[in-house]
Structure 1
Amino acid sequence: MRIYYSLLSMLFSVLLFSSCQQENKATTAIVYSISFDNAVHHEAEINVTFSDVAPGKFAFRMSRTSPGRYALHEFAKNVYNVKATNSAGEALKITRPDPYQWVVESHDGTVHVSYTLFANRGGGTYAQVDETHAHLNIPATFMFAPSQAERPVEVTFNVREDLNWKVATQLKKESGNTFSAPDLQYFMDSPTEVSDHQIRSFDVDSNGKTQTVHFVLHHNGTDAELDTYFEDVKAIVLQQKAVYGELPDFDFGEYRFLACYIPNASGDGMEHRNSTILTTTRSLAQGGAISTVSHEFFHAWNVERIRPKSLEPFDFEEANMSGELWFAEGFTSYYTGLILLRADVWEQDRYLRSIASTFNYVWNSPGTKFFNPIEMSYQAPFVDAARSVDPVNRGNTFISYYSYGSTLGLALDLALRNEPGNLNLDDYMKLVWKKFGKEEVPYTIENLNQALNAYAGEDFGNAFFNKYIYDSKMPNYKTLLASVGVSLTQKGDTPYFGARIRQGRITNEPTIGCPAYKAGLDRGDQLISVNGKGLNDKNTFSAMINTLKPGDIIDLVFTRHGVTKNTRVTLGRNPRYTIESFEKEGKEVTDAIKVKRTAWLGKK
């Protein structure tokens, strides 16, 4: 994912496996092989040969991170049976200076390493090996040597022919099931699906160049279901191309969706330079993961090539923090649903419901009191599939940069459309693409600010960034949505307690300022009675509350740490908003509004 990859297609064949020397330093490839004889027990056997190793200690390790993720994942925990030998097959002594790496003290210039990998999570971050497939995220699968990070890589997948397995990957095919990468960064960014999958492909013309998009699917459905689904995939690809005006120049002129829609997968999506992972337990008959298709393909521009400077180069040994995720992930999330509508995969009402869901989460969160979008983005190493056992207060302090950025993308798009000159977010994204993505020049937040200034004027651009990015103020969504004939309405006619209840127990930290919070209730409190009536399977808390109205006062008896307590709660008004078209609310829609709405939502 480095800047020079814009030249990768021309240079690849020269760089790989050459024995040329520069300043007498060999560039011998690192050679891997992987086998799956014990797939039934989720094991893979991996061998790697490091050649022309410099004298002295030699360290090899597992990655702690994965491209597209920002938290630590500690892939070394699933590695065992590690052995090392020299060129003569003699065993080398291995030491462990820390949990993530192995070191041999001496060698003869060649170090052969073998190990066993346990892999049983089929998503975008980890690896899964069983008798249905070998689903390989490279950092979760292969050891690497930091001292040889610039060397080319060769990998052979010893497929299970008895299971009719085939290899699908963005890696360059050399011969048979052997593939290559120019260096560690590209190798680590190249997920691979080894299975009995199906493929559908179509060609897309872009700037006089034809590129091929492949949809690789491992599933249990029918050919007819795949054919129908692929039509939606094609429509999404073409509508996203219309946003930017062109496709990226994919290496080798190809892009691959690597999809696993199987019961043993884990729901996920993960973008990569010329491919993306799509996983779900939902079959095609159940809808698959079409929203993930839309989100991840948009990343081919926004984050893979329109790339934050804070993520270059990607660090495989430490957490990766970026303040630009509100844009990289959030604006991508805004386009996820918009593209599904423009591609006729969704209908307008469904799209507006999706906006409402995201808006309510962001608008009603107290998190904006603590962090702006940049600081929310900084939280990614703690929330991006990260694990911890101690309780946190994220329900009150954190808003997902996906959702926060998505609502800001909506606001910016509609605000631009209210400016003179037919401005819109599509054309701003085109400008960012041309300035930074097309030539792969990593950007900063200041660069985005300057680009908006250039596109919409300094007053507009600086006002947007100063209010909503550098600060955490909120745009006037009611006015913005009304400009395209959409109502933002808060009915507030149902009572609001402000904490989730399951079997009478509060299961979350009550939202700051909500009725439960003001009444001194906390996570873990067990509710006993409401206004003197005991709670049970028939008289649930929700059933009792739903008979009341906002402003009503209830007396609660609850236990905390074995102690019975009492409190009084004044129920609030439901803070949720609905987002619907003027037509659904019986409001007049002028011709001018219809034109503006079509320009926003219509197919390109």
Structure 2
Amino acid sequence: MNKILFALLLLGFSLNAQTNTYHISFENAEHHEAQITASFPQVKSNSLILSMSRTSPGRYALHEFVKNVYDLKATNSKGAALEVKRIDPYSWEISDHDGTVNIEYKLFANRGDGTYSQIDETHAHLNMPATFMFAEELKHRPIKVHFGVRKDLNWKVATQLKLESGTTYSAPDLYYFLDSPTEISDFDLKEFETNGQTIQFALHHKGTEEEFDQYFDQVKSIVEQEEAVYGELPDFDFDKYTFLACYMPNVSGDGMEHRNSTILTDKESLSDGGMKGNIGTVAHEFFHAWNVERIRPAELEPFDFSGANMTGSLWFAEGFTSYYTGLMLCRAKVNTPKEYVEGLSGTFNYVWNSPALEYYSPVDMSYQATFVDAATSVDPTNWENTFVSYYSYGSILGLALDLSLREKELNLDDFMELMWEKYGKTEVAYKVEDIEKSLAEYAGEQFAAEFFRDHIYNSKMPNYQELFKSVGISLSRDADKFHFGADLTKTDEGLRIYRNTFKGSPAYAAGLDSGDIIISLSDKLVTTPEEFAEQIQNSDYETVKVKFKRFGEEKETKVILKGNPTYSIKLDENASEKALQRRKKWLEAK
């Protein structure tokens, strides 16, 4: 949101501009229900259209939250019933009012993550688009919301919304309101001050104070290292940023950025692997406070709550953020350099061994978000062969760009700071070509043109062998090991191929496909995936006979094995002193 506009909205609010109000309570929390009322005064139009959002900030697919709304009623200022007419799957028309429209409805909510809402006896985890109806024509009005907390459950409120009094909060407009998730529970809270702003961490969990202390120390280190990349924190609205963490067994793992807050959910408690397993999401989502929330793709500004949102910049917005996720954990000393470098292998292999690069560039992969970002469908897809996540693709390209810049005695940190100065602090949305222009400004026109031509608009692999060597890292393949190319799971009938075989793999070339049941290899029965892998590696021949069942009919094919395409990334103990110094400068804390 433009800072001047935000200031004007706050001024309007302070001058008692007409305010839409909401009230939500949770008397039937054990059955995942909320009771919601809202009031829209001084409506000037003859009919007021009320809608539920179809998507949520930070998501690019449709979610159709309206399916969990029911028992809608409307009245005027005197309490007289008004006609409610359903005009499309997402909206209602309310006519013949007297200038005031009051509504009440019930909401069912039972998925705790970064997109949906969840209500039960442990908490009210609220994503606003999944919870509250709104009137598009009144979107510029301020909003007040009162949370009817369950005092018998010791519930409190954590949110980026502005506290008015008690459990009543406000937002300057509808957009800010819908972008303000709220955790209501018996959470623990820690905070620290940095450069005049407060960083809060609200943690809903069943762990100990000591575990939270240890975790919060890591959070502070991450905040410091990410601030060092950009040279400063954003100016958070109301001088506050809030992590809304819910590590409970009833939620679904997720992370979702917002303007001055983020949602963090996972089933793992801090004592059950979450101390290590959840901290990466903290690093990723806080980096978004700069990259995506303020350094923002033009196609997402403003965010469209009525349809899917698409941009070709997710390789940068999400992918480069993913690159910095691992790097920040290393610089914050949450992970060692060895853990960080060796941990690159999984993402690296996923990207560069994917047949999907034949079809789409990173920009094209970004366009697929509408269909893959928590989207749902019932028909099978061929994603194994046609899609690489823009998170992973962009992450590995961010690594390549950083190492390429460091060969020129430059670095990606300074480039990100330049993007922050040009597009983040000013909150002027960018397009893909603006990233290229900024890179040309920073590193030279030829460098930028070649990088974008080869790796952003096309899918050419950078020369990682030389790039890794420049920072004392080795890249190798064990081609002596055989590769089959199918993912198997044990069933009563045999080993079932449970997803599409990869184009170019031995299994694909032999005609094997998802759903096939493998019975034997070269006339030897195989009953477990481990036994299958062992027989492949111990095969005396490059060609193996495979018996399998398809649609109940037994078949046979020959599979010509290939060398294992998997890359291994490790610290090079024999690296030059120059490479070691460059690696240290890359990975050490700022």
TM normalised by structure 1 equals: 0.95
Select 1:443's aligned residue among 404, 408, 430.
430
Select 1:16's aligned residue among 1, 5, 13.
13
Partner of 1:54: 44
Instruction: Provide the C-alpha distance between the structure 2 equivalents of 1:250 and 1:416, rounded to a whole number of angstroms.
Output: 31
Matches within 5 A, 1:163-562: 163-205=153-195, 210-285=196-271, 286-288=273-275, 289-419=278-408, 422-503=409-490, 504-536=495-527, 540-548=531-539, 552-562=542-552
Q: Which amino acid aligns with 1:251?
A: D
Q: Once the two structures are superposed, what CA deviation does each residue of 1:559-583 show, in whole Å capped at 9, x if it has no partner?
A: 1112221100011111111100111
Report deviation, 1:476. 0.6
Instruction: Provide the C-alpha distance between the structure 2 equivalents of 1:442 and 1:203, rounded to a whole number of angstroms.
Output: 29
Instruction: Provide the C-alpha distance between the structure 1 equivalents of 2:586 and 2:578, rounded to a whole number of angstroms.
Output: 13
Aligned partners of 2:74 and 2:101 also within 8 Å: yes
Select 2:569's aligned residue among 579, 592, 596.
579
Secondary structure class of the residue paired with 1:240: helix
Call closer, same or farther: CA 1:50–1:539 in 2, change over 3 Å.
closer
Q: Which amino acid aligns with 2:394?
A: G
Query: Mind listing any 5+ residue stretches in structure 2 that lack a counterpart?
Result: none
Report deviation, 1:6. 6.0
Secondary structure class of the residue paired with 2:113: coil
Aligned partners of 1:124 and 1:278 also within 8 Å: yes
Q: Once the two structures are superposed, what CA deviation does each residue of 1:279-330 show, in whole Å capped at 9, x if it has no partner?
A: 1111111234100000000000000000000101100000000100000000
Secondary structure class of the residue paired with 1:16: helix
Aligned partners of 1:55 and 1:107 also within 8 Å: no
Report deviation, 1:34. 0.2
Please state if 1:569 is matched with 2:559.
yes
Q: Which amino acid aligns with 1:340?
A: L
Please state if 1:99 is matched with 2:68.
no
Aligned partners of 1:323 and 1:374 also within 8 Å: yes
Instruction: Provide the C-alpha distance between the structure 1 equivalents of 2:198 and 2:5, rounded to a whole number of angstroms.
Output: 19
Call closer, same or farther: CA 1:415–1:49 in 2, change over 3 Å.
same
Q: Once the two structures are superposed, what CA deviation does each residue of 1:59-118 show, in whole Å capped at 9, x if it has no partner?
A: 101100000000000000111111111111111111112111111232111111111111
Aligned partners of 1:261 and 1:282 also within 8 Å: yes
Select 1:73's aligned residue among 60, 63, 69.
63
Partner of 1:5: 3
Q: Which amino acid aligns with 1:470?
A: Y
Instruction: Provide the C-alpha distance between the structure 2 equivalents of 1:189 and 1:537, rounded to a whole number of angstroms.
Output: 48
Aligned partners of 1:52 and 1:109 also within 8 Å: yes
Instruction: Provide the C-alpha distance between the structure 1 equivalents of 2:84 and 2:3, rounded to a whole number of angstroms.
Output: 36
Instruction: Provide the C-alpha distance between the structure 2 equivalents of 1:114 and 1:543, rounded to a whole number of angstroms.
Output: 62
Instruction: Provide the C-alpha distance between the structure 2 equivalents of 1:6 and 1:199, rounded to a whole number of angstroms.
Output: 32
Aligned partners of 1:528 and 1:534 also within 8 Å: yes
Please state if 1:64 is matched with 2:54.
yes
Instruction: Provide the C-alpha distance between the structure 1 equivalents of 2:42 and 2:236, rounded to a whole number of angstroms.
Output: 32
Secondary structure class of the residue paired with 2:169: strand
Secondary structure class of the residue paired with 2:55: coil
Instruction: Provide the C-alpha distance between the structure 1 equivalents of 2:527 and 2:445, rounded to a whole number of angstroms.
Output: 61
Aligned partners of 1:135 and 1:194 also within 8 Å: yes
Partner of 1:128: 118
Instruction: Provide the C-alpha distance between the structure 2 equivalents of 1:322 and 1:445, rounded to a whole number of angstroms.
Output: 9
Greater shift, 315-324 or 567-576, is seen at 567-576
Q: Which amino acid aligns with 2:242?
A: R
Secondary structure class of the residue paired with 2:351: helix
Query: Mind listing any 5+ residue stretches in structure 1 that lack a counterpart?
Result: 20-26
Secondary structure class of the residue paired with 1:338: helix
Instruction: Provide the C-alpha distance between the structure 1 equivalents of 2:535 and 2:147, rounded to a whole number of angstroms.
Output: 60
Report deviation, 1:11. 4.3
Instruction: Provide the C-alpha distance between the structure 2 equivalents of 1:137 and 1:382, rounded to a whole number of angstroms.
Output: 21
Aligned partners of 2:9 and 2:173 also within 8 Å: no
Instruction: Provide the C-alpha distance between the structure 2 equivalents of 1:602 and 1:535, rounded to a whole number of angstroms.
Output: 48
| % identical aligned pairs | 57
Runs of 4+ in structure 1 deviating by more than 6 angstroms, as ranges, are none
Aligned partners of 1:270 and 1:296 also within 8 Å: yes
Report deviation, 1:7. 6.0
Report deviation, 1:13. 4.1
Instruction: Provide the C-alpha distance between the structure 1 equivalents of 2:354 and 2:39, rounded to a whole number of angstroms.
Output: 52
Call closer, same or farther: CA 1:539–1:180 in 2, change over 3 Å.
closer
Aligned partners of 1:270 and 1:277 also within 8 Å: yes
Secondary structure class of the residue paired with 1:300: coil
Q: Once the two structures are superposed, what CA deviation does each residue of 1:168-199 show, in whole Å capped at 9, x if it has no partner?
A: 10001111111111111100100001011111
Greater shift, 55-64 or 358-367, is seen at 55-64
Report deviation, 1:547. 2.3
Please state if 1:596 is matched with 2:585.
no
Q: Once the two structures are superposed, what CA deviation does each residue of 1:3-56 show, in whole Å capped at 9, x if it has no partner?
A: x23663x4454222644xxxxxxx411100000001011111000111111232
Q: Once the two structures are superposed, what CA deviation does each residue of 1:445-499 show, in whole Å capped at 9, x if it has no partner?
A: 1110000000000010111111111111110111100100000111123221111
Call closer, same or farther: CA 1:105–1:11 in 2, change over 3 Å.
closer
Aligned partners of 1:6 and 1:439 also within 8 Å: no
Aligned partners of 2:143 and 2:173 also within 8 Å: yes
Instruction: Provide the C-alpha distance between the structure 2 equivalents of 1:139 and 1:460, rounded to a whole number of angstroms.
Output: 43
TM normalised by structure 2 equals: 0.97
Aligned partners of 2:112 and 2:252 also within 8 Å: yes
Instruction: Provide the C-alpha distance between the structure 1 equivalents of 2:302 and 2:475, rounded to a whole number of angstroms.
Output: 42
Q: Once the two structures are superposed, what CA deviation does each residue of 1:217-259 show, in whole Å capped at 9, x if it has no partner?
A: 0110011111111000000000000000000000111111010
Greater shift, 346-355 or 175-184, is seen at 346-355
Report deviation, 1:425. 0.2
Report deviation, 1:544. 2.5
Instruction: Provide the C-alpha distance between the structure 1 equivalents of 2:529 and 2:416, rounded to a whole number of angstroms.
Output: 54
Aligned partners of 2:24 and 2:36 also within 8 Å: yes
Partner of 1:22: none
